[in-house]
Amino acid sequence: MCEVVIMLKEKASQYYQQENRNCAEAILLAANDVWQLGLSADSARLIGGFGGGMGCGSTCGALAGAIAVLGVMDPAKKAHESETLKADCAALTALFNQKLGSTLCDDLTAKYRTEQDRCLATVQLAAQVLEEFVQAKKAPVSKNGEMPTAEQIKEVKALGFLHCKGTDKFNARIITRNGKITAPEAQAILSAAQLYGNGEIAFTTRLTVEVQQVSYKNIEAFRAEVGKAGLMTGGTGSKVRPVVSCKGTTCQYGLLDSFALSDEIHRRFFLGYNDVKLPHKFKIAVGGCPNNCVKPDLNDLGIVGQRVPILDKDLCRGCKKCQVQLACPIHSSSVQDGKLVFGEDCNHCGRCIGKCPFGAVADGTYGYKVYIGGRWGKKTAHGTPLSKIFTDEKEVLDVVEKAILLFREQGLTGERFADTIARLGFENVQSQLLANDLLDRKTEILGAQVHLVGGATC
């Protein structure tokens, strides 16, 4: 099994944002919690003066905090008696410089600091560098093969291979088209699992297939094997993730061809935007009706099939036992002053259409409701629907693209789309998604050198 751990970045962010610690203190205290270094809270006072580049914009305080962590972790009681501390500090400093572009506070402030979050991005990146460095030092040599380095683990993770810690094994994530695979593709996956894995496969919540326990040395051979059937690995990183959809065309409640729509989203935005770096992962789901089986409103962007009932008031007789009212599964409709009224909470499921014996609700308009800003995990948020019910598929696809472009341009590295919306304001975001400015500036937005180190850790 691939072990899930609390990331150092999360702890450092907590100390920096919620407890108002400076960059050096946040790194040291976070490392103390994650790796149980045995330091007291007062120990942070020893490193506090290094924040802000020692108060003069010199060496970054987050780097100073990371160096302090190496000193605590070193087994030697005196620094000059250590066989590795000097070399480790030099190596960590070089890695920090490589990843962040400088070790100086002034340089990093100009590059990463924002008015709202101060130096949060620098603290998060420093935590990632420190964790990568420490894990590489701690990594044991497996019984089955040479342990890959931290850089190699990161490199293949971007290809969809998730490291099973303490081994040289990886779970290989194969992309499907919203859960669909052909018989030849299934045979190729089984063959690759037998040749290069442990013979077992698993299915993820994003409808991808994971082949278990592929050795690092066999990764390229594995990719070549599944590539014979046109399959690709991936589905990780700060980018558009594999699309999920329900079986809208085979469900009695389905109001749209969710597979066809999600196939188009897969083609245009998962494949078409595969090289586009975003602040964080971006998940899309398509639901055929308001039953929300694939939870579209808990994705960064969700699309839900609609059928808006059309009421002919002239045909409504205001029956005491209104069949339309009785058919409503959420009790939204009612007869008021002798006429049927649909409540504001009507979710446009279409279940009431055709139920009136006098034809007052004989038809409905098919459409799409778009939710933005949903998420689940350590933090959850229900997406908020745009005010418009879309009736044209092209317009919906344009909204998807505009949401991705807005996230890339206006999102801060490391934040989810829900956080971007909360920071910018829903009405602001909605007005941009309903206008065309983002599409007009598409080339400019996609060409910007931003989010070079994304916020996604899985």
Which pLDDT band, with edges at 50, 70 and 90, does 142 fall under?
Answer: low
Segment holding 17, helix H or strand E: helix 8-17
Residue type, 389: I
CA gap 52, 50 in Å, rounded: 6
Q: State phi, psi for 354 to the nearest 5 degrees.
A: 85, 0
pLDDT of residue 102: 92
- Distance, in Å, from the CA atom of 301 to the CA atom of 306, rounded to the nearest integer, reads 16
pLDDT for 299: 97
pLDDT of residue 5: 40
Contact 187, 230 (CB under 8 A): no
* Residue 247, pLDDT above cutoff 90: no
- Higher pLDDT residue, 142 or 412? 412
pLDDT at position 284 over 90: yes
As a whole number of angstroms, the distance between CA 216 and CA 163 comes to 9
Q: What's the CA gap between 384 and 372, in Å, rounded?
A: 5
Distance between CA atoms of residues 360 and 348, nearest Å: 16
* Backbone torsions φ then ψ of 386, nearest 5 degrees: -65, 150
Q: Give the Å distances, CA to CA, from 89 to 73, 74, 451.
A: 12, 11, 27
Q: What is the model's pTM? A: 0.70
Q: Given this model, what pLDDT does residue 450 score?
A: 93
What pLDDT, in 10s, does the model give residues 213-244? 999 989 998 998 899 899 999 999 999 999 99
Strands (E), 193-273: 201-203, 209-215, 244-245
Left if phi > 0, otherwise alpha if psi is -120 to 50, otherwise beta: which for 378? alpha
Q: What is the mean pLDDT of residues 383-399?
A: 97
Q: Which residue has the higher pLDDT, 240 or 137?
A: 240
Amino acid 82: pLDDT: 83
pLDDT tens for residues 306-343? 999 999 999 999 999 999 999 999 999 999 999 999 99
* Per-residue pLDDT at 3 exceeds 60: no
Could you give the CA distance from residue 436 to residue 433 in angstroms, rounded to a whole number? 7
What type of residue is 442?
Answer: K
The single-letter DSSP state of residue 199 is S
Neighbour-count burial of 98, counting CB atoms closer than 10 A to its CB (0-12 exposed, 13-18 middle, 19+ buried): exposed
Burial of 56 (0-12, 13-18, 19+ CB in 10 A): exposed
CA 49 – CA 176 distance, rounded (Å): 52
Helix (H, G, I), strand (E, B) or coil at 388: coil
> 392-417 burial by CB neighbour count: b if 16+ within 10 A, else e?
ebeebbbbbbbbbbbbbbbbbbbbbb
> Does 41 have pLDDT greater than 60?
yes
- Alpha-helical runs (H) found in 292-447: 323-327, 393-410, 417-424, 426-434, 437-440, 442-447
Burial 329-357 (b: 16+ CB within 10 A, else e): eeebbebeeeebebeeebbbbbbbbbbbe
Segment (H or E) for 13: helix 8-17
User: What count of Cα atoms within 13 Å lies in the side-chain half-sphere of residue 50?
Assistant: 22
What's the pLDDT score for residue 275? 92
Q: Which of 99, 101, 103 is nearest to 61 (CA)?
A: 103
**360-371 tens-digit pLDDT:** 999 999 999 999
